Amino acid sequence: LSTVDPQDTYEKLLICEEKLIFLENKVAGFVVEEWMVPEQEKLTELIEKTFGENEQNRNVMVESDDFEMHGKH
């Protein structure tokens, strides 16, 4: 194992943090169109199904229909 300079690791962490904050701000500025709302809810549901804290949720098979975009203009 190579010895890593703590200062180097610290600086890398700071850069990561800055990038995260930048991304968060970027996402916060997104305009949500009305037609996107149901899609957003579907995605949230999908994410909860996939990464839900409930162990059973992790084993739920996702139907391919969940990925189809409905009501697109």
Alpha-carbon span 46 to 61, nearest angstrom: 10
Per DSSP, helices labelled H in 1-73 are 6-28, 36-51, 55-58
* Residues 12-61: tens digit of each pLDDT: 999 999 998 898 888 887 777 888 888 888 888 888 888 766 555 445 55
Q: What is the pLDDT of residue 63?
A: 56
pLDDT of 62 above 70: no
pLDDT of 70 above 60: no
Q: What is the pLDDT of residue 58?
A: 47
